[in-house]
Structure 1
Amino acid sequence: MDGLMQRVPLSIVDIFEHAERMHSHKEIITRGPSPSRYTYGDWAQRVRQLGTALDQLGLSADARVGTFCWNHAQHLELYFAAPCSGRVLHTLNIRLFPEQLEYIINHADDEVIFADRSLLPLLLPILEKTPGVRQVVVIDDGSGPEIVDGEKFLDYEQLIAGREPAQFTIEDENQAAAMCYTSGTTGNPKGVVYSHRSTYLHAMLMTSTVTISLAEDDRPLVIVPMFHANAWGMPYAAPLCGASLVFPASDMSPAANAQTIQDEKVTIAMGVPTIWQGLLPILEQYDLSSLRALCAGGSAVPRGLIKEYRDRANLHIYQGWGMTETSPIGSMGRAGSSEQALDPDAQLDLAATGGYIVPGVTARIVEPDTENVQPWDDEATGELQIKGAWIASEYYKPEKPGLSTAGGWMRTGDIAAIGPRGVLRIVDRTKDLVKSGGEWISSVDVENILMAHPDIKEAAIVGVPHPKWTERPLACVVLKDGVEATEAKKQEILEFLAPQIAKWWLPDALEFIDEVPKTSVGKFSKKDLRQRYADYALPGSEA
């Protein structure tokens, strides 16, 4: 027996039209070198004009529309005009190497690229190697080279000026809406293609109390780059519920972020952990009382950082777990009523995990390279595998298919444990585990303890070769400003670490470095450290 409900496709058009009708008075604010402030009503008119312009550019019906932009209102216009007109938004990572950008543009078959003028020096050198790109539309963000070629290069404002507003219709909710490429820590970047349905459902998830309870009276600041997993879904969730949006444009420095939070009465701010580490030294210099939460993702938030924000500013850092492949929310660390009764240290322990697996996502952990499912006891570990309506089933034109198992479980590549009530604890990436004498050492656990040391800014653990144990852990440590890097300090740090972990987990050596290398989206890039220390001679390794 079938249900008797209407079968209406879930699409980004529905989000757009709801914002246009119900929240036309709410604001979209862009800070930075070319500040702007306008309403959702103004925005909707420009989105419709941009939709008409896309039609008149002669793009194919499902053309990939590349964006090479900072976080600003025009980028939000593209977030809607491209998918609502039936095309596919393709956000290009402005921090990738030229060879990676060239590969991604050609692999996705981008037909047009919308680029900020300030970013043209990064884009122009590769255009001759991307023959499918017929035109570049330049958004004037206040700096960069002047472009006079009126055939290949068009001005954004001139392109949409005076256009008739487009009417949008999407019949198939499973139609591609947007795509984003992974940052390519191994091999070529891989394309993840989001559908209208998955984007709509993920936007609804963000308004739920199981995640960040985004509401009409919120003023979220989107620091997370708009080229990274659809800016964690905020550009779609905010219009859905009518929250005013604040964008930082190109200035995401700690002082600029703090000033924006103060001036715009921001209630939620979203960024990777390094953003919140950068803000910490100037925390008391600004009025941040409007904030109700900081949201973090991309990499694990150190427990010590969560504690400092709680103790110094009574601010909660909510971290979640996710990937480009998961749209990205897979779990969220919001304490339930029973956890709020825990003592402060236990609450910190919970906040330092990946949080609860959210409704709509089904998870399991299996022994690597097997189908042996492990129990949810917070002790057994294995590869995390997931299913859900906003979870990728495969990459776009994959070099080697196999993102999902035959049973439809997506392989995340993360090693995790899950507690009895569904709290996710990421132990490591499969490629970052240190295998010593046949046993696995979690680099993440050791790093989190190290970063609780008062003199340590960042820490990364990598495996280096050992003739007897195959690999042993090496600690790579960044000290806070003003702390002297001495042999005595190395010994002090190792003595701090020793009582908190198993003896055989203790790093065999420690090296001070200037900075932990980062990927284009701010994650630790241990690949670079492994390459740097590939021939490292550990003390006693000759034994």
Structure 2
Amino acid sequence: MQDWKLTVDKVIEHAHFNHGNREIVTRSVEGPIVRSNYSELYYRARKCSNALLADGVQKGDRIATLAWNTQRHIETWYGTMCIGAVLHTLNPRLFPEQIAWIINHAEDTHVFYDITFQPIVEAIKDKVPSVKHWIVLTDAAHKPQTSLNVRTYEEYIAPHSTDVVWGDFDENTACGLCYTSGTTGDPKGVLYSHRSNILHTMIGLQKDAIGIGAADATLPVVPMFHANAWGLAFSGPATGSKLVLPGAKMDGESIYELLENEKVTFTAAVPTVWLMLLQYLESTGKKLPHLNRVVIGGSAVPERILRAFEENYQVEVVHAWGMTEMSPLGSLGSMTANVLSQDHDTIMKYKLKQGRAPFGVEMKITDDDGKELPRDGKTAGHLIVRGPAVAKGYFKNAGGNILDETGFFDTGDVANIDEFGYMQITDRAKDVIKSGGEWISSIDIENFAVGHPAVANAAAIGLPHPKWDERPLLIIELKQGSTATREEILGYLNGKIAKWWMPDDVVFT
């Protein structure tokens, strides 16, 4: 057999040569709907590569993006990765100080960003000495006012040729970098290789996984800065699926407009987005005539959302679970013949589980001594995973060795697995809270809270929330003789943590 390198340039080249005219639709950050295709993306990505090379970018250099899901963002992905540099997605939902810390840890040399994030850039520009180039993903007409030496993306790539060498490196070369706050302590970087991204794409293209095809119109609502948009920035071009990119607008009406006008057949996001869409549909009486399937990610899918899509709108719901460390797909709630032969309510119970591991993901549960536990759907243990798209360590070896002696990674979740392979998370061992699909570090909240002069001890816990999955509750023990109010504690935290990390309530013991 031939030795065919698994590098991501193969993905966009395949799209160009086999699906070149397939449409890419973007709700631009500037406002208008923009229409393009895979061939145009391919050529513009090559120009981006030459622009980076002209700046002296070398293999292994980290190039950051702070951007929504748009075609320009995808162009920077392939423009960076295909020359052997590392594309580092930054999460704009983090507090600016956290973003600056992550940029400094990664030693990013470039930051490509959308105009909506100019305030973040202004807040961090003097705190990130490694960044030598700021490129705003727009044209000259929309260039923001700033004291920074900023180039617009269009002027950045305009003078450059499309003639560039791609893929002249080993398939194990670093390709992407994404930091997770789903661990205790400082955020940790997960470094994806070309090989792992290609194999993850193949995992995702299984029928019982993401399973999109050339006839689909795919709307990745899940952000590209959220674990690679669950791989859709690769699986879309790999299959020739029409791509519909939502830009910055995530409200129910805006998402519905794209679903309807672009005849979207497949989409994916966290429950928060789908709750907003359902509220819009229920208030307007509108339907979803084109949508066939929706993947809902996170630790749990609310039963109300599941039943609304399936029973009121005849849209198949697939619950997906994963982690940044898994690229991110870990399990998906596709139904087996055994389950489909049962009654409707029983099927709904299975759909509420976290799903089955696709081929390419090994999954098991163990006790505290590492002994594998039975797959009986009742016995709970540590959920551990292994596979070609699972991290074997964090960037710069943060956290040291993260694998056991057999190469399995401990997810930090407690779960059971049943006889059909369906996994269900029953608890979380990590000191983190998952809200709207994003991790909140309870330890960080606690550490800031105990800095208040009246606070002796603090504990942040996650409480179930109908919209956000979980929201933090802060429990405070005051120092003897001290007093403080809920408002005083929240006011003290204001400016120290991201707004969306702010506890919904404070209780005193």
Normalised-by-shorter TM-score class: 0.7 to 0.9
Q: Which sits farther off after the overlay, 48-57 or 332-341?
A: 332-341
Counterparts of 2:205 and 2:469, CA distance in 1 = 34
2:156 is matched with: 159
Give the CA deviation at 1:298: 2.6
2:52 aligned to which of 46, 51, 54: 54
Give the CA deviation at 1:52: 0.8
2:451 is matched with: none
- Kindly report which structure 2 residues correspond to 1:23-422, keeping only aligned pairs within 5 A, or say none: 23-32=19-28, 33-140=31-138, 145-147=144-146, 152-165=149-162, 166-184=164-182, 186-283=184-281, 285=284, 286-368=286-368, 370-422=369-421
Counterparts of 1:177 and 1:383, CA distance in 2 = 30
Q: Which sits farther off after the overlay, 71-80 or 370-379?
A: 370-379
List, as ranges, runs of 4+ consecutive aligned residues in structure 1 with deviation greater than 4 Å: 141-144, 456-467, 519-522
Change (3 A) 1:266 1:430: same
Change (3 A) 1:334 1:75: same
Counterparts of 1:298 and 1:67, CA distance in 2 = 23
Give the CA deviation at 1:254: 0.9
Q: Deviations over 1:79-114 (max 9, x none)?
A: 211110110000011111111101110111101111
Q: Deviations over 1:483-527 (max 9, x none)?
A: xxxxxxxxxxxxxxxxxxxxxxxxxxxxxxxxxxxx9899xx7x9
Change (3 A) 1:220 1:423: same
Q: Deviations over 1:16-70 (max 9, x none)?
A: 1111100101011101414311111111110111111110011232210100111
1:14 aligned to which of 10, 31, 45: 10
DSSP-derived class of the 1:355 partner: coil
Give the CA deviation at 1:143: 5.9
Give the CA deviation at 1:184: 4.9
Change (3 A) 1:354 1:459: closer
Where structure 1 has 5 or more consecutive residues not aligned to the other structure, the ranges are 435-442, 468-518, 537-543
DSSP-derived class of the 1:363 partner: strand
Change (3 A) 1:230 1:521: farther
Counterparts of 1:170 and 1:409, CA distance in 2 = 31
Counterparts of 1:520 and 1:202, CA distance in 2 = 31
Q: Is the 8 A contact 1:298 1:323 kept in 2?
A: no
Where structure 2 has 5 or more consecutive residues not aligned to the other structure, the ranges are 434-460, 478-496
Change (3 A) 1:86 1:521: farther
Q: Which amino acid aligns with 1:413?
A: G
Counterparts of 1:185 and 1:122, CA distance in 2 = 24
Q: Which sits farther off after the overlay, 405-414 or 133-142?
A: 133-142
Q: Which amino acid aligns with 1:30?
A: T
Measured on the aligned residues, the alpha-carbon RMSD in Å equals 2.7
Counterparts of 2:469 and 2:71, CA distance in 1 = 36
Tell me the number of residue pairs that the alignment of Structure 1 and Structure 2 aligns: 457
Counterparts of 1:63 and 1:23, CA distance in 2 = 31
Q: Which sits farther off after the overlay, 344-353 or 115-124?
A: 115-124
Q: Is the 8 A contact 1:228 1:521 kept in 2?
A: no
Counterparts of 2:245 and 2:202, CA distance in 1 = 21
Q: Deviations over 1:331-368 (max 9, x none)?
A: 11011222222111001001000111111111121224
Q: Deviations over 1:284-332 (max 9, x none)?
A: 5334211011111133111232112222111222111100000111111
Q: Which amino acid aligns with 2:295?
A: C
Counterparts of 2:468 and 2:81, CA distance in 1 = 39
DSSP-derived class of the 2:113 partner: strand
Change (3 A) 1:332 1:218: same
Change (3 A) 1:373 1:11: same
Q: Deviations over 1:213-271 (max 9, x none)?
A: 21001111111111110110000001001001011111111110011101111111111
Change (3 A) 1:207 1:399: closer
Q: Which amino acid aligns with 1:39?
A: N
Flag the structure with larger Rg.
Answer: 1
Q: Which amino acid aligns with 1:176?
A: A
Q: Which sits farther off after the overlay, 395-404 or 121-130?
A: 395-404
Identity across matched positions, percent: 35
Q: Which amino acid aligns with 1:415?
A: V
Counterparts of 1:54 and 1:362, CA distance in 2 = 38
Change (3 A) 1:348 1:128: same
Q: Is the 8 A contact 1:120 1:144 kept in 2?
A: no
Counterparts of 1:460 and 1:128, CA distance in 2 = 34
Q: Which sits farther off after the overlay, 17-26 or 206-215?
A: 206-215
Q: Is the 8 A contact 1:118 1:143 kept in 2?
A: no
Q: Which amino acid aligns with 1:248?
A: P
Q: Which sits farther off after the overlay, 275-284 or 74-83?
A: 275-284
Counterparts of 1:205 and 1:122, CA distance in 2 = 35
Q: Which amino acid aligns with 1:113?
A: V
Q: Is the 8 A contact 1:19 1:239 kept in 2?
A: yes
Q: Is the 8 A contact 1:11 1:196 kept in 2?
A: yes
2:506 aligned to which of 504, 513, 532: 532
DSSP-derived class of the 1:216 partner: coil
Change (3 A) 1:47 1:460: closer
Q: Which amino acid aligns with 1:429?
A: R
Counterparts of 1:230 and 1:352, CA distance in 2 = 24
Q: Which amino acid aligns with 2:506?
A: R
DSSP-derived class of the 2:126 partner: helix
